[in-house]
Amino acid sequence: MNKLYRKLNRANFSNLQNEEELSLSEKERIRRHIESKKPIRKSKHVVMLSVTSLMAAIILIGTIEPRVLANVPWIGSSISGFLMNEGEEQVDLDDYVTVVGTHVEDKDIEVTLNEVMYDNHRLIVSTTFYSTELDLTDYMLPMPNLKVNGEDVLQGASGQRDIVDEHTMTLFSSVHIDDDFSSLLYEKPIEITYSHFLHQTTDHVIEGEWSFAFETSGAELSEDTKVIDINKTIQLDNGQVVEVDAFAISPGSSTLHYTMYNNEEAEPLDWEYDVIFEMYDQDGNIIKPEAGQTLSENSFWQYGRLSESIDELTFIPIVKSGREGEAKEEIHNRLVDEEIQITVKQ
Contact in structure between 100 and 29 (CB atoms under 8 Å):
no
Nearest to 111 by CA among 164, 171, 190: 171
Give the pLDDT confidence score for residue 307 in this predicted structure: 85
HSE (CB half, 13 Å, CA atoms) of 306?
Answer: 23
Domains of the chain in start order, with CATH, are: 2-43+50-216 (2.60.40.1630), 226-343 (2.60.40.1640)
What is the pLDDT at residue 90? 59
Report pLDDT for 18: 38
The residue among 319, 312, 317, 313 whose CA lies nearest residue 337 is 317
C-alpha–C-alpha distance, residues 90 and 204, integer Å: 42
Query: From first to last of its 346 residues, what are the pLDDT tens digits of the chain?
Result: 433 333 333 333 333 343 334 444 444 444 444 344 333 334 566 654 433 333 333 333 333 333 333 344 445 567 877 776 555 555 667 777 777 788 899 999 999 998 887 766 667 889 999 999 999 999 999 988 888 778 887 656 767 888 889 999 999 887 776 555 555 556 667 788 999 999 999 989 999 999 998 765 534 445 677 889 999 999 999 999 999 999 988 777 788 999 999 988 888 888 999 999 999 999 999 999 877 889 988 788 888 788 888 999 999 999 999 988 888 889 999 999 999 999 998 6
Inter-residue contact 315 to 279 (CB < 8 Å): yes
Q: What is the pLDDT of residue 92?
A: 67
Whether the model clears a pTM of 0.85, i.e. scores above it, the answer is no
Q: Contact 102/187 with Cβ under 8 angstroms?
A: no
pLDDT score, position 214: 75
Single out the residue of 298, 299, 280, 302 nearest to residue 289, CA to CA: 302
pLDDT at 226 (0 to 100): 86
Closest Cα to residue 142, out of 210, 82, 79, 77?
210
Distance CA(268)–CA(255), nearest Å, equals 26
Cα–Cα distance for residue pair 323/327, rounded to 1 Å? 6
How far are the Cα atoms of 28, 81, 172, 234 from residue 316, in angstroms, in the given order?
A: 34, 30, 31, 11
99-154 confidence digits (pLDDT tens): 778 889 999 999 999 888 776 666 788 999 999 999 999 999 998 888 877 888 76
Residue from 210, 201, 124, 134 nearest 168 by CA: 134
Give the whole-angstrom CA distance, residue 193 versus residue 143: 9
